[in-house]
């Protein structure tokens, strides 16, 4: 059996390791860049970190006693993935600089083509392309007229001098909040252009001491216990967000409200930072020091809407020109892209664009009807709401391997979810989604074109249960 893995980020590295462990050694990983790491390779902005504690945002088989902090910086996370890939000999399996442009299923085989013209055939394709990797640029008049340095946060230009500069940041998500805290002491002026206020969950980010790291090295069982404790804590959060009336979500609301009330001293600024929707309706912001940073004398929260970009800065609708040297677009990603723009053609000429009109769907976020032997890691409608996507991917891959085994043992050549299974799953998911906190009155990247959250709307423990064993009745095996 020949397998292709698209992407060498967190999920692609995992797939390569697990395929090898399963004895499937005839596989190739295709990576468009020149290094592994995915989002941690692409994002290098100041203040970058993960909003999941590092000891949980690690492979279960690759604990790291050397994390420097509870929420470690992005450079450490990138180094961790590079280390794991090297340790497990993943690098020798990767074709770097190969952007997959087309995958066509014909004669029981996937025919894969890259931008360089490379072609190869595979029995199974595993899409490990990630969720947030296509930058989304805002539609603002005059964006191309700015004379200073301008770039998306995921395309950070490290040649641009920031010390003593006037810096503007468009956006107030996790990325923007992290940048504000990291840059405020370096820049002459920082202007944060806020369209929507965010709830901020206070979380300290202490450094691990040398003694603590030594204990992690000496007692791996303690490290495993810490990971389990963190996982249990995130289970509580997962249960809270999927029930908008739960006591846990009320506790989260109170913690965020107290953070705002107790730490923003100017009443006028406090009201401009106060969201008009419930906490966790948008992806919750985790920060120990954002409120402190935005109250510094050289920081300004701009809440008037942007009218246009001009050569010397940003003009807001109150008529004011905010003069800037650097403009950073922290405006997020195209969250519904997934494998696209790869041209994927399944059985009988069915294209992915056709299958995903009007919106992306996959059974349990893993399998798409009419696309046999194509499996997704962190695909549409999976658990992405402040959870560890590593834990999600590990559960998904174990499930996928059970489907692959049915082909490997000769039960059939082609396997994919049935249309009925996907339809039933989507009906149940849409019904459950209406009970979550994500539909309580905000706009977020979780929501699809109907205003329904395109994420897993049940508890995380239920996700673990479903990922234990595939239901044969949900799959077409031919």
pLDDT in tens, the chain (478 residues): 999 999 999 999 999 999 999 999 999 999 999 999 999 999 999 999 999 999 999 999 999 999 999 999 999 999 999 999 999 999 999 999 999 999 999 999 999 999 999 999 999 999 999 988 889 999 999 999 999 999 999 999 999 999 999 999 999 999 999 999 999 999 999 999 999 999 999 999 999 999 999 999 999 998 999 999 998 888 888 889 999 999 999 999 999 999 999 999 999 999 999 999 999 999 999 999 999 999 999 999 999 999 999 999 999 999 999 999 999 999 999 988 899 999 999 999 999 999 999 999 999 999 999 999 999 999 999 998 757 899 999 999 999 999 999 999 999 999 999 999 999 999 999 999 999 999 999 999 999 999 999 999 999 999 999 999 999 999 999 9
Give the pLDDT confidence score for residue 133 in this predicted structure: 83
Q: Which domains does the chain have, with CATH numbers?
A: 3-134+334-477 (3.50.50.60), 143-204+241-329 (3.50.50.60)
DSSP letters for 251-281: HHHHHHHHHHHHH---HHHHHHT--SS-TTS
Burial letters for 1-27: b for 16+ Cβ neighbours within 10 Å, e otherwise? eebbbbbbbbbbbbbbbbbeeeebeeb
**Residue 275: both structure tokens together:** 């969201």
Give the pLDDT confidence score for residue 386 in this predicted structure: 59
Give the pLDDT confidence score for residue 22 in this predicted structure: 97
Q: Which residues pair with 28 in a beta bridge?
A: 4
Query: 330 near 441, Cβ under 8 Å?
Result: no
Give the pLDDT confidence score for residue 253 in this predicted structure: 96
* H helices, E strands: number in the chain: 13, 21
Give the pLDDT confidence score for residue 182 in this predicted structure: 98
Give the pLDDT confidence score for residue 257 in this predicted structure: 98
Query: 239 near 248, Cβ under 8 Å?
Result: yes
Question: How far is Cα 209 from Cα 382, in angstroms, rounded to an integer?
Answer: 36
Give the pLDDT confidence score for residue 335 in this predicted structure: 85
CA-based nearest residue to 289, from 190, 208, 204: 204
> Which residues, in sequence order, are CB contacts of 300 under 8 Å at separation 6+?
189, 190, 191, 192
Rounded to 10 degrees, what is the CA torsion of 412, 414, 418, 422?
Answer: 130
> Which residues, in sequence order, are CB contacts of 267 under 8 Å at separation 6+?
none
Question: How far is Cα 249 from Cα 435, in angstroms, rounded to an integer?
Answer: 12
């Amino acid at each position: 059996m020949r397998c292709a893995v698209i992407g060498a980020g967190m999920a692609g590295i995992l797939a390569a390791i697990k395929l090898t462990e399963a004895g499937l050694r005839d596989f190739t990983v295709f990576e468009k860049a020149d290094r592994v790491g995915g989002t941690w390779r692409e994002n290098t902005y100041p203040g970058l970190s993960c909003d999941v504690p590092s000891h949980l945002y690690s492979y279960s088989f690759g604990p790291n006693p050397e994390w420097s902090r509870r929420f470690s910086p992005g450079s450490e996370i990138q180094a961790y993935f590079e280390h794991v890939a090297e340790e497990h000999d993943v690098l020798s399996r990767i074709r770097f600089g190969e952007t997959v442009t087309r995958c066509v299923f014909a004669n029981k085989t996937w025919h894969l083509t890259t931008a360089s013209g490379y072609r190869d055939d595979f029995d199974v394709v595993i899409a490990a392309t990630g969720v947030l990797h296509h930058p989304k640029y805002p539609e603002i008049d005059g964006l191309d007229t700015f004379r200073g340095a301008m770039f998306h946060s995921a395309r950070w230009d490290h040649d641009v001098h920031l010390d003593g500069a006037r810096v503007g940041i468009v956006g107030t998500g996790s990325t923007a909040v992290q940048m504000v805290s990291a840059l405020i002491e370096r820049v002459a002026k920082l202007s944060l252009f806020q369209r929507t206020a965010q709830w901020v969950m206070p979380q300290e980010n202490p450094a691990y001491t040398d003694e603590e790291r030594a204990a992690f090295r000496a007692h791996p069982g303690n490290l495993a216990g810490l990971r389990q404790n963190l996982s249990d804590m995130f289970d509580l959060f997962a249960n809270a967000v999927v029930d908008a009336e739960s006591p846990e979500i009320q506790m989260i609301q109170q913690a965020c409200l107290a953070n705002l009330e107790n730490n923003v001293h100017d009443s006028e600024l406090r009201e401009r930072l106060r969201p008009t929707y419930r906490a966790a309706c948008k992806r919750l912001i985790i920060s120990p020091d954002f409120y402190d940073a935005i109250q510094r004398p050289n920081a300004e929260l701009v809440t008037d809407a942007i009218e246009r970009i001009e050569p010397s800065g940003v003009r807001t609708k109150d008529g004011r020109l905010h003069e800037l040297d650097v403009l950073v677009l922290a405006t997020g990603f195209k969250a519904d892209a997934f494998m696209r723009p790869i041209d994927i053609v399944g059985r009988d000429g069915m294209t992915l664009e056709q299958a995903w009109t009007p919106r992306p769907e996959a059974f349990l976020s893993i399998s798409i009807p009419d696309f046999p032997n194509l499996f997704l890691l962190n695909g549409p409608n999976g658990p992405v709401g402040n959870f560890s996507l590593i834990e999600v991917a590990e559960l998904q891959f174990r499930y996928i391997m059970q489907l692959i085994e049915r082909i490997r043992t000769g039960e059939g050549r082609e396997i994919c979810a049935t249309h009925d299974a996907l339809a039933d799953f989507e009906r149940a998911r849409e019904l459950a989604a209406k009970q979550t906190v994500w539909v309580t009155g905000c706009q977020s990247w979780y929501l699809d074109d109907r205003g329904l959250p395109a994420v897993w709307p049940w508890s995380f423990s239920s996700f673990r249960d479903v990922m234990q064993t595939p239901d044969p009745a949900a799959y077409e095996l031919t």
